Structure formats: C-alpha cells, structure tokens
A and B are shown apart, each in its own frame.
Chain A
Amino acid sequence: MRGVLRAAVLGLSLASAAIGCSGGSGGGDSIVVGHVASMTGDTATFGRSADQGMRMAIEEINAKGGVLGKKLDLVTEDDRSVTEEARTAAQKLLQRDRVIALLGEVASSRSLAAGPEAERAKVPMISPGSTNPKVTEGKEYVFRACFIDPFQGAVMARFAAQELHAKRLAILFDFKQDYSVGLAEFFRETVKKDGGEIVADERYTSGDIEFRAQLTTIRAANPDAIFVPGYYTELGLIAKQARELGITVPLLGGDGWDSEKTLEIGGSAVEGYYFSTHYAADSTDPRVQEFVKRFGEKYGGTPDAMAALGYDTARILADALTRAGSTEGPKLRDAIAATQNFEGVTGKITIDEHHNARKDAVVLKIEGGKFRFYRNVSAE
C-alpha cells in the first residue's frame, strides 16, 4: 500500500545518509539533534509548527556561537501522523543520523511509540507537547516541556463549572488516542468530584468523518457543555455537525485544538468555544511579544502553542547541553532533569522528578475567527 512512498522515503534516507557521512555527524563540527514530527497527515500542523519553533531557536543559538563550540543541526523525520511510524522515525534518527537527543512528538500516542527507542539507545528525548502522563512514566530518558493531563483535565472541568456554570456535561473523545482518552478521564474525575454530572459519554475514532450519531445521543441528554478533548481535524467536523443538529451549548477542548486549522475547518461553527493550552499569542508578556514578532518576520503568521513549545524545547536542550558540557546520553539526561526556572515563552519551566514541566495553563476563547486569551490558570 505504501510501496511508492516507501521507495521515496528510502531514496531520501539514502541521500541524507550520504550527506550525513560527508557532513560529519559524529564528532564533526556540529551536534546533530533529531526531531520526530508529524509533518504530514491528520495533525500536520503540530509537527510543522514545532519544527518551525525549533529551527528558529536553533538559528538563534547558532548565531550566538552554538553550544560547546559547535553548531546545532536539526534533522526532522516525518511520521505522517501515524503512531507506528513514530517508532520507525525515532529508530532512523538514532541509528542512521546518530543524533545526541530526540525532540518530539507532539501527540501522546506517538511519543509513547518513540519513547522506548530513546530508552534503549540511552539518548534523551524531550516531547514539546505530549500531555498524557504515561509518556514519561517509568522512563529514564524521556522528558516533556509541557504540563500533563490531570492538570489540563481539571482546568477545563473547573472552568466549565465556575465560568459557564455547567452542571450537566457531555464528553466526546477519540478512543484511539492516549491523549484524548487520558484527558477525558481526568475531566470526568474532576467533574464528579466537584458534584457535576456526566450526562453523555461518547467516543469516536481518529479519521472518522461522521459524528451525527454520537451528537444526536448527546443532544438528547441535554448537556450544558460538551468536552471534546480530540485533535483539530475531527474537532472542526464535529463542530460543524453539532451546529447542524441545532446544538447551541459550547464545546470545550484541550491543547489538541491549538492549530490555525481549527479555524479553517470549523469556520463559524467553532465561534464561542473554549480550550486550554500552553500559551496565548496575544499575551502582553514582553517575552511572548518578542517571540511572536520574530516568528512572524521569519515565517509569516502567528505562532501557535506547538511552535512556542518547539522553540522552548530546543532551547531547554541547548541549555542542558551547556550545563552538561557533553553530548553523552547519561550526562545530558541529568542536565535536562536539573532544569530549574528556565525562562521560556510558554512560561517558567522547571522539570520535576517525574520529568514533567510544571507550568500554568491558559484558556483561549474562539472569537471573531481568532484565538483570544480568556484567562490564566495557575499550576498551584
């Protein structure tokens, strides 16, 4: 089925392997870092945004002389938004390019697929945006630059109760994605703990295009708000079909919505909806403003959360490399684990003992075809 693509990928890998040899990836004048990313497929904006953020960070670092006297070099491997391919991509980067660290993936299922490869090779991996707790659990070499879903799920559950006064809540989640399953679970828990009620609990599968059956069931349960912790492609279709069925209550989501594609696919159907994410591009923080300005100059457009996280992730790695004074896996791992109060554009980052970043979340509202900062939620 993927024969032609395989051939193309093989051709490309051979070509880049040749370049890798002549360029001197091992012990040459550059330090090679790998990026496992969804550059194409259903969540393509995640990989592309993160990659843009990382490349921008690396460009800035190299302009200042690089790290350990060498330039950083980023090699990106596309996993086409397919879980199994993330593992293959990680293997390629580790074995073919001999990368000293892996960055990525954004989607939790794919980070879970790539993580064991980093463990086996004893090469540190930092995920910019995987929020499912399992991604770093029991792993020595896997880190993340973002908060985790018990926090994100609670944020949205409390937001629904306090800001929207929603008592009756419905959930529609993607049971093929660890991210979505986990987020739904923590949302459910918090709602119940706080005395709310889950009146409908429906599911779908990544890649589905027809959601009217689930939405009709949800509509019959008459909820005050609907939590859809999925990714943006399905969300856009769900929002449209919900409006068609006459559902007027707001949809709520997590950082999986954070893509310009949400606005492109959903159009007017996503107006007035809320989601939690890592940063707001319209924040007044001068650090964020500076980042947004430079990103716009380099690529055009406004950076989304994955771009900001990608930027922070690459800078965390560079910071750890400098502190470790070495590219050896164990030393680099210890340096990343010791990251304290690192000033990122997505907030102040401290890596905790579970390899997670403790950070605040923001809630954005979709208004006038734009994401707008709505409120800040502290991690405390």
Chain B
Amino acid sequence: MENLLQQLLNGVTWGSIYALIALGYTMVYGVLRLINFAHGEVYMIGAMSGFYVARALGLGVEPSLLGLIGVLVASMAICGVLGATIERVAYRPLRGAGRLAPLITAIGVSLFLQNAGQLVFGADPKFFPPLLRASEVFRAGHVAITNIQLTVLVTALLLMGALEFIVQRTRFGRAMRAVAYDAPAAALMGVPVDRVISGTFVLGSVLAAAAGILVGLSNPKIDPLMGLMPGLKAFVAAVLGGIGSVPGAMVGGLLLGVIETLVTGYLSSTYRDAIAFVILVVILLYRPTGLFGAPQTEKV
C-alpha cells in the first residue's frame, strides 16, 4: 500500500511534466487545428536556456530558490519569444493553405531545432545545475516526498491554475475560445485572430519552458534530442484527454505519468514507452475525442 502511494506520487510528479507540454499541443490545436510537432523542441530549448542562464548568473554552486525562480522566468520569456517567432515565420505564411502543409512544416521546424541544437549546444548531454538541494519535506512510513518533487508539482499546478484563469476569465482567453470555436466568425466580430494565435503560441511555449526547467531540476540530464520522446508522449496525453480541451490535457498528462510509473514499477520498464502508444491507438479506435473532448459533428 505504501509502495503504491509512493508510486502514485512519483507518477503524478512525472505526469505533471507531460501535462505542461500537452497544454501547448492542445491549445494550438484548439485555435489552428494544427499538431505543432515542434513543441517538444520548445521544451528542449526551455531546458537549455535554463542551463545557460543559470551558468551566466553563476548559479548552481549554492542552491537558491530565488535563483530557480529567476531561471524559470528567464527561460519562459525566451521560449515565449521563440514560440511567437516559430508561428510568425513557419505557420502564418501557410494560413489558409489546408492542413497538411502546416503539419509538414511543423515536422520541419522540429528537425531544424533538433539539428540546430546539436550544432549550437553540442551533442553531449549537459547536467542541469542543482538549484535545490534535495531533502525530504514530508514522510509517512515509507512514503516520502522531497522538496524537488514538491516544487515540480506545485509549480506545475500553479501554472495550470494561471492558464485556466487566463482562458476562462480574461479578454484574451475569451478571444482565444472564440477563435477556437469559429475563427472566421470571430474575425467578423472584430477579434484580431492573428494576434490571438500568436498569443496562444506564446502561452504554450511558456508552459513548455517551465516543463523543461522542472525536468532539469528533478532529472538533471539535458541534451538536444531530449524533446523527441516527451514531445510524442505529451501529444498522446493531449489526445488521451481530448485534443483541444485544456482540462483534458492536464488530466491526460497526469494520467499518462501515473500509468507509465505503475507499468514500470509493477510490470517492467520494457513496456514504458510502448504503453503510451498503445493508449494512443486504443483512444483513436474507441474514443477519438478523448476523455474530455465533446463529440464533434462534421460541419458540412
């Protein structure tokens, strides 16, 4: 029992990383009907920029919470700009060009960032500076939670809460929902569609950057190809929750993390990567709209 609780805790922490990345997929899909396959690379750039910012500030020798917040904010800002740039350069020129062209462009951007990453950062793995010194904050029997796990969880939940607030309670959020619902009608009502789409990319990229920093904190090995697998997994998480649905991406991410951890802990890690794609196939076969997606009627 204690073991199961510990595994659930491990799973939720791991899953919150997937959830943060999955949100970017789902929001972009919501407004553009585009699977932004370059999103995993934005997460990689997030971790990398965190690494360089920490080094430039001379952090990592002495753990500091303030330093962590600084690195987090800086990296989120960098990725926000990156996200807007990707949208402006790679996707906006293809607006109205059907759905296949932007999809292929997305794969191209992903490959470009992976290879540019190898050129700029080098192919060697880097090790994220220890911005927190690991210590237990809570223990009941054998179930222990460390400050690192707690930081990952709390930061992820705060960011998801902030996102929910932006989407539901602000003018920008309302505009975003309007564009997602019906872009041409929203444009006719005076919603600046291009700016909303750009803002959506910024939001998604900021969350991916946070995921990159949190992974650097709890699993401190980063390299230019690190975005590949988590990017695909987060995509599965978004589909699992119902692509286009913000709460769906959160729940899908957490659920995928828990499933992976339980499979690894109780069966074998051999199945860890396979399970995500089995879920993808099953969901697409039996419930293509995912857990939270509303059944869509085809517009004729």
Q: Which residues of A contact B (CB under 8 A)?
A: 1-5, 8, 40-42, 44, 80, 175, 202-205, 208-210, 212-214, 216-217, 219-220, 233, 236-237, 240-241, 243-246, 264-265, 267
User: Is B173 at the interface (CB under 8 A from chain A)?
Assistant: no
- Complex Cα–Cα for A332 and B7 (A): 56
| A209 contacts B221, C-beta separation under 8 Å | yes
| A41 contacts B219, C-beta separation under 8 Å | no
User: Is B134 at the interface (CB under 8 A from chain A)?
Assistant: yes
- Complex Cα–Cα for A205 and B268 (A): 11
- Complex Cα–Cα for A90 and B273 (A): 31
- Complex Cα–Cα for A301 and B144 (A): 39
Known pairs A3-B111, A4-B118, A202-B269; A213 contacts B261 (CB<8 A) = yes
Binds A, one of B28-36, B121-129, B155-163, B281-289: B121-129
User: Is B169 at the interface (CB under 8 A from chain A)?
Assistant: no
- Complex Cα–Cα for A219 and B10 (A): 14
Q: Considering the complex, which residues of chain B in the window 5-29 have a beta carbon less than 8 Å from any beta carbon of chain A?
A: 6-7, 10-11, 13-14
- Complex Cα–Cα for A289 and B148 (A): 43
**Which of B115, B124, B149 touches A44 (beta carbons < 8 Å)?**
B124
| B136 contacts A237, C-beta separation under 8 Å | no
Known pairs A5-B118, A237-B219, A265-B127; A212 contacts B10 (CB<8 A) = yes
8 A-B pairs with C-beta separation under 8 A: A1-B111, A40-B122, A175-B270, A209-B221, A212-B13, A213-B264, A220-B2, A246-B142
Q: Which 7 A-B pairs have the closest CB atoms?
A: A213-B264, A209-B219, A4-B115, A213-B265, A212-B10, A40-B123, A213-B261
User: Is B3 at the interface (CB under 8 A from chain A)?
Assistant: yes
| B130 contacts A267, C-beta separation under 8 Å | yes
Known pairs A175-B270, A216-B6, A246-B136; A210 contacts B14 (CB<8 A) = yes
- Report B150 CB to chain A, min CB distance, Å: 11
Q: Which residues of A sit under 8 angstroms from B11, Cβ to Cβ?
A: 213
Q: Which residues of B sit under 8 angstroms from A208, Cβ to Cβ?
A: 269
- Complex Cα–Cα for A257 and B85 (A): 42
Q: Which residue of B lies closest to A41 (CB)?
A: B123
Known pairs A40-B124, A233-B221, A265-B221; A212 contacts B269 (CB<8 A) = no
**Which of A40, A202, A216 touches B10 (beta carbons < 8 Å)?**
A216
Q: Which residues of A sit under 8 angstroms from B278, Cβ to Cβ?
A: none
Interface residues as binary, B214-239 with A (CB distance below 8 Å gives 1, 0 otherwise)? 01000111000010000000000000
- Complex Cα–Cα for A202 and B114 (A): 31
- Report B231 CB to chain A, min CB distance, Å: 13
Q: Which residues of A sit under 8 angstroms from B268, Cβ to Cβ?
A: 202-203
Chain B interface residue count, Cβ-Cβ cutoff 8 angstroms: 44
User: Is B97 at the interface (CB under 8 A from chain A)?
Assistant: no
- Complex Cα–Cα for A187 and B127 (A): 30
- Complex Cα–Cα for A210 and B14 (A): 8
| A2 contacts B115, C-beta separation under 8 Å | yes
| 15 more CB-based (< 8 A) A-B contacts, given A5-B118, A213-B10 | A1-B111, A5-B115, A40-B124, A41-B124, A42-B125, A80-B123, A203-B269, A208-B269, A209-B226, A212-B13, A213-B260, A216-B3, A217-B266, A240-B220, A246-B139
- Report B234 CB to chain A, min CB distance, Å: 14
- Complex Cα–Cα for A203 and B272 (A): 11
- Report B47 CB to chain A, min CB distance, Å: 11
Q: Which residue of B lies closest to A40 (CB)?
A: B123
Q: Which residues of A sit under 8 angstroms from B215, Cβ to Cβ?
A: 209
Looking at B7, B116, B127, the one whose CB has the most chain A CB atoms below 10 A away is: B127
| A245 contacts B221, C-beta separation under 8 Å | no
- Complex Cα–Cα for A236 and B146 (A): 18
Q: Which residues of A sit under 8 angstroms from B226, Cβ to Cβ?
A: 209
| B134 contacts A204, C-beta separation under 8 Å | no
- Report A17 CB to chain B, min CB distance, Å: 23
Known pairs A233-B125, A237-B221; A4 contacts B3 (CB<8 A) = no
Q: Which residues of A sit under 8 angstroms from B219, Cβ to Cβ?
A: 209-210, 237, 241
Q: Which residues of B sit under 8 angstroms from A265, Cβ to Cβ?
A: 127, 220-221
Looking at A80, A212, A245, A265, the one whose CB has the most chain B CB atoms below 10 A away is: A212
Looking at B114, B115, B148, B226, the one whose CB has the most chain A CB atoms below 10 A away is: B115
| A240 contacts B269, C-beta separation under 8 Å | no
Q: Which residues of A sit under 8 angstroms from B122, Cβ to Cβ?
A: 40
Q: Which residues of B sit under 8 angstroms from A214, Cβ to Cβ?
A: 264-265, 269
Q: Which residues of A sit under 8 angstroms from B115, Cβ to Cβ?
A: 1-5
- Complex Cα–Cα for A216 and B266 (A): 10
Interface residues as binary, B242-285 with A (CB distance below 8 Å gives 1, 0 otherwise)? 00000000000000000011101110111011000000000000
User: Is B119 at the interface (CB under 8 A from chain A)?
Assistant: yes
| B10 contacts A243, C-beta separation under 8 Å | no
- Report A198 CB to chain B, min CB distance, Å: 15
Q: Which residues of A sit under 8 angstroms from B261, Cβ to Cβ?
A: 212-213
Q: Which residue of A lies closest to B264 (CB)?
A: A213
